Every structure is written in structure tokens, then in C-alpha cells.
Amino acid sequence: MLIAAAIVFLGGCGQQEDEVSKRTENIDFVAEKPAPVEVKKPVPVANPINTVKREGILPTKLEIPAIEVKSEILHLGLTETGEMAVPDNGEEVSWFSHGYQPGENGRAVIAGHVDDLEGPAIFWDLSKLKAGDEILVAEGDKQLRFKVYKMESVPLDNADLSSIFGYQSSPELVLITCAGTYDYSRGTREERLVVYASLIEE
Amino acid sequence: MKKGLALFAVALVLFLSFGMGVSADSHTAKVRVVHASPDAPAVDVYVNGDATLENVPFKADSGYLEVPAGTHNVEVFATGTEYAEGAGVLQADLTVEAGKAYTVAAANTVDALEFVVAEDSMEVTEGKTKIRVGHLSPDAPAVDVGLIGGDAVFSGAEFPGITDYTELDPGTYDLEIRLPDGTQVLPLEGTELAADTVYSVFAVNNADALEVIALVDYEAAASPDGMPTTGLGTPDQSNAPWMLMLGTLALFGASAVVWKKRFQE
């Protein structure tokens, strides 16, 4: 019986409930069934092939009014093990610079920490976002507005990277932070909170 | 003690494999609709009876919509017409496979409306550009698309058809649509084709007003091998080693009891 108790103790060390895991329980949502898409008439141009690609921005500033986030955006690529790199501090966020630019067709991805050694970090409140909340990214005076339409918490091993970082025929923004319980054996949380937003056409 | 360790190992394996599986995203296909019928009014598109696209005018496209893999009832109505199953101006059962992308063009004149369906490419060789053309002009003859004063890139495109893709070096090309005898039908000078991009260019409208619509099928970008590690903290840091120590102590204690029992026997 003592052995069993010891096993429970040791096993229990892998998963531990805390503030982050409680906040990110049952947070998945998708905006209500989408209304029929109103398709805009194309504007006539001399050579339509030259205007069909959308230009993006190299984002430097992130703002999420609903959760009072304001941050500089670093441009980072991959870690040595091929993961998306992240800032070494809890105050800044990073854009995955090998992927799509915000404003281009496809999913531009920005990641930030949920906590740091002192406590809550820049994306602590990300799980509080609701469908329709706005996310602003800017390069100088070029600002793009995105609207949240979906949130999910995905187990690390199930994350479909080719979709989360993938092509879309319209511009999207994806925000990622850590979620779920802390896994001591892996040294990271078991899930990732993924927020999807679509560009608001001006 | 040995048995305890084995049990612990089993518990650990179970714990690590918990939650393995396949994401739901791998069960959908991408479909986009193009209005390519020169004399048809703007249309509404219903998929399995649900209004999916509204007021699609001639020459417009819907962008890619995610639809579940399988067979779908696609119906087209003139915008403003009341929906009634089976009463559309055009209907087809469209079968789509997971992970693939399709273009569904409503083509030909309104009295002979038909769907032209093609599978779209979602890949391109790194550093290359990829393009195909579609002949969706109901009364235009077969045409070639090629360099002005140079070779044809696509030969003998006929209505209603969409060619295979061809890969080219990215760059600026002086292209034209021409009859096989060389007579120019439509100039496309200074066409810029970007690297890592897949294009579809469709010739539409009547022969006497021929024009092109351009679509991007895919643009390549890198994705990482792993999700970011987005937490710098560890919950209850002081607590954790203490728990581990307690667990180890308990194991030692348990083994001591076992040993003691053995000595007593």
C-alpha cells in the first residue's frame, strides 16, 4: 500500500493543477455558424495577375485592447530543435518570421509567454479573449485589425503545425501561449492555447 | 521494490502517451467557387441546402472554404431567388477528398450553365513559380498562351478546360493569349510571377470582350517542427522538489517494510 502511495506521489508530480491550467480548462470556442460570405466584385485592372497577391507587413507592435496587452514584436525563427522560437522574457512577443506576414494570405503566428519566473506574463489573459475581440498589429503607421473567431487548447502532441502555420486564401493572425497543466518530465505545459483571428477589411 | 518500479514505469508510459491522436483538420477539403458565366446574373450558392455564398457576381471568386471530405450537394440560384431544393439553375454532387483543394467554376452561357471542376495545387518547388490557365470563354476558339514573339507556355487550351500546372522561374514575362496561327487575342505584358506562389489564370467573358481573372491557389511559407515553449515559469517551484523527495522517501520506506517482512519470515 505504501508503494502504491509512493507511485501516486511520483506520478502526481508530472501534472499539477495551478492557475494557468484552471484558466485554460474548457476554453475552446468557434464563432457562431458563419453567415453566407458576401463576395465582392473584383476591381478591373490592366493586368490582374500583378495585383492578385496581397502585401503583408513586418509587424513591430501588438495591441489587444480587450485584455490590455501592448507589446513590441520581435522577429524570431526556429530554435535549435526546430520549434518556433520565443522571446527570453515575459514582456515581449515574437512573430514567426519564416512564415506568413500579417496581411498576406495565410496564418501569421505570434507567440508570447503565459508566465515567467515572477508570475503572470504578456499572454496571461489570452484565455479571456472572446469571439469578436480585436487584435491590432502594426509596422510603423501601417496598422492591420484582426477579429478573433476561434480559440482552442491543443495537446502538444496533437498540434497540427501545417494547419496552425498554414496557408489560407485570406489573411489570418494566430496567437499562441502555453496552457494546461505543467509537465515536469518535459519541462513545459501539456497544451497550447491557440487563438485564430481574421483580417477586418478596411 | 522491483515490482514498484515496473508499475511506476507503466504509469509514466501511460501518462506520456495520454492524448495522442490525429487532429480534426485533416478531414476537410478546400473548395472555392468562381463565377465565370458572362451573361448569368450574380448568384447565391447553397451547399447541402445551406446558404454558403451570397451575391457572387461575374468574375468573382469566393476564396477557399473549408468543407468536410465527402460528397456535397452544390446548388446555384440567381441572387434574390427563393431557395427550393432541386430548383437551382445549376446543381451537382461534388465529391472532395480530405487535404485537397478544388476550384469549382460556374461556366458557359446562362442557358447552358455547367460546372468546371479542377483540383488545385497546394505545393510549389522552393524558389519557383507555378501557373496554369483555364479557358472559360464559351465562344472563343482554342488558344495558346505564350511569350510575345516567343514560345508558347500553354498550347491548345479549349473551352471548357483548365490546363495542368507548369513551373517557371519567377520573374516578369511579356505574355499574350493568341490563336494557334499567332494572331494576338489579349496582351498580358509585364506579368510578374512571384516565387513560391501558385497561380490560376482564367480567360473569361465572350470572345469579343475576352479578359482574364487571376487567382492565387497557394503561397508557400515555412512552418516549424514544434510549437513554441511559451511559459518561463514552473508552478509551485518550491513545492515540486519537496514532492519528489517525499515520493522517494515513501518508496524507501515501502522497501524497508518489505525487507523487514522478509527478515521476519
What 3 state SS string does B158-178 have?
A: CCCEECCCEEECCEEEEEEEE
Q: Which band of pLDDT confidence, cut at 50, 70 and 90, is reported for residue A17?
A: confident
If residue B212 lies in a helix (H) or strand (E), which one and from where to where? strand B211-219
Displacement of CA B85 from its chain's centroid (Å): 28
Average pLDDT rounded to a whole number, residues A60-72:
97
| Cα–Cα dist A172/A138, whole Å | 14
Measured between CB atoms, does B201 come within 8 Å of chain A?
yes
Record the cell numbers describing residue B14, joined without a space: 501511460
Displacement of CA B181 from its chain's centroid (Å): 38
Which chain B residue has its CA at the smallest distance from A17's CA? B235
Q: In B, which residues are within 8 Å of A105 by CB distance?
A: 216, 219
Average pLDDT rounded to a whole number, residues B98-111:
95
The pLDDT of residue A182: 92
Which chain A residue has its CA at the smallest distance from B189's CA? A47
Q: Which band of pLDDT confidence, cut at 50, 70 and 90, is reported for residue B31?
A: very high
Lowest-pLDDT range, A12-16, A65-69, A117-121? A12-16
| Cα–Cα dist A100/A106, whole Å | 6
Is B248's pLDDT higher than 60? no
Domains of chain B in start order, with CATH, are 28-120 (2.60.40), 123-221 (2.60.40)
Radius of gyration for chain B, computed over Cα atoms and rounded to the nearest angstrom: 30
Q: Which of residues 42-61 of B touch A (CB under 8 A)?
A: 44, 51-57, 59-61
Is B180's pLDDT higher than 60? yes
| Cα–Cα dist A25/B76, whole Å | 42
The pLDDT of residue B26: 62
- Interface contact B122-A11, CB threshold 8 A: no
Q: Which residue has the cell 527478515?
A: B263
ipTM of the complex: 0.85
Q: What are phi and psi of B121, to 5 degrees?
A: -85, 135
Record the cell numbers describing residue A15, joined without a space: 501534472
Domains of chain A in start order, with CATH, are 56-199 (2.40.260.10)
Q: Beta-carbon neighbour count of residue B172 at 10 Å?
A: 11
Average pLDDT rounded to a whole number, residues B91-114:
95
Average pLDDT rounded to a whole number, residues B225-253:
68
The pLDDT of residue B23: 35
Average pLDDT rounded to a whole number, residues A77-84:
96
Is B264's pLDDT higher than 70? no
User: Shortest CB distance from A167 goes to which of B62, B219, B233?
Assistant: B219
User: Shortest CB distance from B250 goes to which of A9, A90, A121?
Assistant: A9
| Residue type present at position A116 | D
The pLDDT of residue B21: 31
The pLDDT of residue A27: 84
Å from B212 to nearest chain A CA?
Answer: 7
Non-local (6+) Cβ contacts of B6 within 8 A are none
User: Which residues are registered as beta bridge partners of A171?
Assistant: A106
What is the overall mean pLDDT for chain A?
89
Is A153's pLDDT higher than 80? yes
* Tens-place pLDDT, residues A20-49: 888 888 889 988 666 667 677 777 678 899
Average pLDDT rounded to a whole number, residues B153-165:
96
CB B72 within 8 A of CB B42: no
Q: Which residue has the cell 496554369?
A: B132
| Cα–Cα dist B158/B141, whole Å | 7
The pLDDT of residue A193: 97
Average pLDDT rounded to a whole number, residues B44-66:
93
Lowest-pLDDT range, A4-8, A162-166, A172-176, B173-177? A4-8
The pLDDT of residue A25: 86
| Residue type present at position A60 | T
Is B45's pLDDT higher than 70? yes
Q: What are the start-end ranges of the H helices in chain B? A: 2-17, 239-264
Maximal C-alpha separation, chain A = 81
Measured between CB atoms, does B98 come within 8 Å of chain A?
no
* Tens-place pLDDT, residues B132-147: 999 999 999 999 999 9
Lowest-pLDDT range, A9-18, A154-163, A167-176? A9-18
Non-local (6+) Cβ contacts of B265 within 8 A are none
Measured between CB atoms, does B62 come within 8 Å of chain A?
yes
CB–CB contacts below 8 A, A to B:
237
List the one residue out of B166, B132, B122, B134 whose CA is nearest residue B29.
B122
pTM for this entry? 0.80
Per-residue buried b or exposed e for A56-85, using 16+ beta carbons within 10 Å of the residue's own CB: bbebbebebeebebebebbebebeeeebbb
